[in-house]
Amino acid sequence: MSKESRSDMGKKKSSQNKNTSNSKELPTRTVGTPERSQMSKQGTRSAAASSKKNKTEDEVTKDEVHYNDDMLNKMSKALTHHNWYHGLMPRDEIEDLLKVDGDFLVRKTEVAKQPRYAISVIKGLRIRHILLNFKDEMWSLRDLKKPTLTELIEAHRNDKVPVMADGTILVNGVDRPPFYILHEHIELKKKLGGGNFGEVYSAQWKKSEGEVIDVAVKRLKGMMKKKQRADFVKEAKLMRRFDHPNIVKVYGVAPQEEPVMIVLEMASGGCLHTHLRSSVTLTNDQLLGYCIDACRGMCYLSGRNVIHRDIAARNCLMGAKGEVKISDFGLSVADRSEIKLDKLKSMPVKWLAPETLKNGVFSKKSDVWSFGVLVWEVFTRCEQDPYHGLSNHKAKEKILAGGDLKLPDTAPPLGSAVMNLCFTLKPDDRPEFDGLFRLLAPNEKPPNNTDAIYLNKGPKIAVIGSGPAGLYTCSALLKRIPECTLHVVDKSTVPYGLVLSGVAPDHADVKKCANHFEKMFDSHEGRLSLYCNVNVGQDVSYTDLVKNYDAVILAYGASRSRELGIENSKPENNVFSGFNFVSWYNGQRPDLKPQLNRKDAVIIGNGNVSIDCARILLSDVERFRHTDIAEYAFEMLENSRIRNVNIIGRRGPLDVSFTIKELRELLTLPNVSSRCELTLDMENEIKEKLSDPEISRRKRRLWELMLKYKDAGGVFEKTGKIVFYQKPSKILINAEGQIESLELENSLTKKKILVPCSLLIYAIGFESNHLEGVPVDENKALLLRDFCRVKDHRALVYATGWCAKAGGGVIADTQRNAVLVAEELSADLKTHKLKEDTELVDETLQKKNVRYISWKDWKIIDKAEREIGEKKGKARHKIHDVIGFLDQYKHV
């Protein structure tokens, strides 16, 4: 029997319980999609099959399930024993936790303002949210009933009982993130103080079973909107990683319910403000020591781009050894150069900088001004507030004029010097915190950006490649190795690999995985760094990486198209690889000039790249007007005279590698006559395969679609045709050197035919162009020990994605493989001795004066591309000269 007793589940029947034993499915979400996605018709039919009474959240009426308060409290308390219980977890944050098929969690939710419990589980790229029902003292999910919720979950997991008709099962209960603390695990004790933004309590935190620690808890005032809550959690996650003796340790946050709480280290010495007022025997040396402590803490925060916004004695605490600790992170803002408030009504005016009072702008330099006020508080021992006796309005006038706070004559000259520097009227003329620290403590080195936990307490891992393979591996590693440092290096000037450069412009849904990557970089500043525009082999060598990092992950894809291998297959003959043609319309190759001024195009290859290229050429160009297609490509397609596209497969219809979604898109293009050209023998071959009951559903649906479209639907000006068992044998060119026709040879009969062709695209696969120094075999393939481990004794080296021939181009497969690689690496590191005092890639690039694109640089580019695109009515306007744009931006 589990820890949940049957009485925990509520002995009292409610006469209002009218729910059936069937589960209710909440709206689904596709991974990487920020907004709620609608189920497809197929998915709706599948859900309906699981239960005739499946309902969305909005359809569940308020009288279906009721928990009384006593039952709800007992239920929540019982569930907190299980790490797969996440409390009132916002649905937006679930997609960051569920990664692999069968990952699940249980959470509290509200339906029609009534508390309910739900399972969230992933299959493929779709996350399902399934309501759990309670009736007659039994919990039910589909046809399975159990007296406790734990028993119901464990029965589905252990016995692999599907929770949906499509076969979705529960495999791995995903743990609560370490920074999420349940309200049920916090017991508030004594109120210690309060202010404009919240109240502080002493409390006990049940960190784990049998482990309870004393903490301080800040309860924030007011209700948070969805975005505010998301921003707050993001900041708290960052601050949780701060580890410095002059910073109050942040253990985590409890954001699921109101009031939102921050759980902090308990500083036994109390508040600095109270300490200064109550202590009788403080010397100037002690007071100066407090200023140095506070400055040391602010150096640490400032070096991590944290703007505190409320530096004051009341927001500093005293540690057990008499050291000052910077606290009150409820106002801090991380990773911004400045922020702006619309109103200053609730702000502590007398501690604010002139630019804040005038324009509502906070920055690290406005923190320097406030630090000057703190110095004044320390040496006056907080006998009175700054500008005592003045109203906020009068004090504001004083501050805008430069302030006139003076230290008592008994204060040391150094205190006055520091304070006067802080009160410099122009923000740009004020010193940085490290400059103040050098003045206060000339014999001590100030904290810098690369000390503390970021680089010294965990494994250092280099990832070569910023596409889905590399970044999904990063995502999995960040979950499994919280203390690791990840440096992502890429030759391209922008991240995300084929997500931006390879995915067709009309496939915006596929590109939404970039939303996940963006959140990952934003929430792991300091642990996850990006170095684009870095050529491994030139700017930094593979040998350097394996020498200096504990592990290296090869995720650089297959960068070279397999060549056609016949004469005249060059761009100057209007012959292009599929990779280059895709790069052309996606804005990566503006130098290419495909000629679209004649009507016949031929595409060699039966994969998704071929299908994408054909769809681009045959579609009404208006399909792409509001996408992120390159403008030069749009203009050329707008004037294109291509009318016929033949897709040539060297093998038969049973051997195609394109997927049903892409094929259906092509065959159902409006105003295009499209078909799969099948002989009678080919039809019979397909039908024979379809008679096999062991054939997978995916292949069955694909082959049935091909049979359905063996005849053209309607007569239109444009035609698309998929042909099998033909291979190119000769390219014929005209007097201008342009391709005129293509000779094809039947793979079965060896009979040759000549077809008109004015544009030839070949997409017959990729070859990995491995980095110099990477171990390869006699066939130039990676030298692997198993599916991912590379044979290199100098470091732990792994390969994933195209360069390891894993993933096959489908993002879901790439993600699954990346997770497996991360699991293997995590296991290997447990017995691996970490390297010390090595030169990391950022130091190497600085020494060589290499201009790289950082994550912050990319954010500037991304924002500009979106803003320009919005003005033009497009999703994005791609900037081709990224370096030039950044130079101009920084100059301005």
Task: Detail the residues annotated as belonging to a binding site.
Answer: 218
List, as one string, the DSSP characters of 597-640: -SSEEEEE-SSHHHHHHHHHHHS-GGGGTTS---HHHHHHHHT-
Quick one: 809 exposed, middle or buried, by C-beta within 10 A (0-12, 13-18, 19+)? middle
3-state secondary structure of 812: helix
Q: Summarize the annotated binding site for ATP as residue ranges.
A: 218
**Residue 584: closest CA among 625, 511, 633, 622:** 633
End-to-end CA distance of the chain: 68
Our CA angle for 630, 632, 636, nearest 5°, is 115
Q: Give yes or no for a contact between 806 and 562, defined as CB atoms under 8 angstroms apart.
A: no
Our CA angle for 801, 806, 810, nearest 5°, is 80
Q: Give yes or no for a contact between 534 and 489, defined as CB atoms under 8 angstroms apart.
A: yes
Instruction: Report the C-alpha gap between 776 and 783 in whole angstroms.
Output: 5
Beta bridge partners of 254: 261
List, as one string, the DSSP characters of 300-331: HHHTTTEE-S--SGGGEEE-TTS-EEE--GGG
**In this structure, how many other beta carbons lie within 10 angstroms of the beta carbon of residue 42?**
10
CB-side exposure of 185: number of CA atoms within 13 Å?
33
Residue whose structure tokens are 């395969």: 689
Q: φ and ψ at 74, to 5 degrees?
A: -65, -40
Quick one: 391 exposed, middle or buried, by C-beta within 10 A (0-12, 13-18, 19+)? exposed
Q: Which amino acid is at 448?
A: N
List, as one string, the DSSP characters of 230-258: HHHHHHHHHHHT---TTBPPEEEEE-SSS
Pairing type for strands 198-208 and 211-220 reads: antiparallel
Q: Give yes or no for a contact between 153 and 170, defined as CB atoms under 8 angstroms apart.
A: yes
Our CA angle for 812, 603, 806, nearest 5°, is 25
Our CA angle for 292, 295, 297, nearest 5°, is 110
Instruction: Report the C-alpha gap between 131 and 143 in whole angstroms.
Output: 14
Instruction: Report the C-alpha gap between 789 and 799 in whole angstroms.
Output: 7
